[in-house]
Amino acid sequence: METVKLDILSDPICPWCYIGKANLDKALAELGDHPFVIEWHPFQLNPEMPVDGVDRRAYLEGKFGGKDGAVRAYAPVVEHAENAGLIINLDKIARTPNTVNAHRLIHWAGVEQKQTQVVDALFQAYFVDGKDIGSEDVLVDVATSAGLEADVIRNLLNSDNDLDDIRQRDGHSRKMGVSSVPTFIIANQHAVPGAQPPELWKQVIADIQSQLADAPEE
């Protein structure tokens, strides 16, 4: 089957990215046969976040205008996560981290063809286990769970490797008009924003397969 690139811009602390990936995964699993080659790209929800992150309650109440505003903002998240069959333990999350190092880890995982495993492990660590994915130790644990070498990742995290690259790629996406995540870009042409339901992905894939089948052979 001819392949089609699916670029996914996301942040591992974005609950809609967690839900959007689950919906995409469900569609791909049900279809079995699909054309996508997936690559993950950095987009920080909070690019100005302090290196050590901030207290999550203070962050949410500041962002949404108090506790009631935060509860209202996250009610749809909980509902959609449950509908997607996901565990999401928001009460376990104590800190909102800076995610630049998590994005560096996702980038390095791509070199080893393990990006999706690392993305899954980051979502698990943050949304299920309530871990601080800005922490070096947590990121090393995530890396080893996906089959990466602990010593290599720790040394990279203690360097500036790819730090500027991640920030430049994040900035480039904003200049191109991306303002929220997840954003899925199909074949470098069509942007699909948001956590779309599995049914939409099935239709998208059916349309792509139809177009590929109808394309004249070179």
Domain edges within the chain:
4-214
Residue 136 burial (CB count, 10 A): 13
* Band of residue 213 on the pLDDT scale cut at 50, 70, 90: confident
pTM over 0.75? The answer is: yes
Q: What is the pLDDT of residues 104-122, one digit of tens each?
A: 999 999 999 999 999 999 9
Residues with Cβ within 8 Å of 103's Cβ and at least 6 positions away in sequence, in order, are 11, 12, 42, 44, 166, 170
Q: 27: which 2 tokens?
A: 């569609």
- The single-letter code of the amino acid at 111 is V
Model pLDDT, residue 212: 84
Model pLDDT, residue 121: 98
Give the burial class of 187: count Cβ atoms within 10 A of its Cβ; 0-12 exposed, 13-18 middle, 19 or more buried.
Answer: middle
CATH 3.30.1220.10 fits 4-214, yes or no: no
Tell me the pLDDT of the chain averaged across its residues.
95
Size of the chain, expressed as the number of residues it contains: 218
Q: What is the mean pLDDT of residues 83-98?
A: 96
Q: What is the mean pLDDT of residues 21-41?
A: 96
Cis peptide before 47 (omega within 30 of 0): no
Q: What is the pLDDT of residues 137-169, one digit of tens each?
A: 999 999 999 999 999 999 999 999 999 999 999
Q: What is the pLDDT of residues 163-176, one digit of tens each?
A: 999 999 999 999 99
Model pLDDT, residue 90: 94
- Looking at the chain, list the stretches that DSSP marks H as alpha helix, in order from N- to C-terminal side: 15-31, 56-64, 67-83, 100-111, 115-123, 136-145, 150-157, 163-175, 198-214
Contact of 127 with 3, CB cutoff 8 Å: no
Q: In this model, does residue 218 exceed pLDDT 90? A: no
Q: What is the mean pLDDT of residues 47-55?
A: 96
Model pLDDT, residue 217: 64
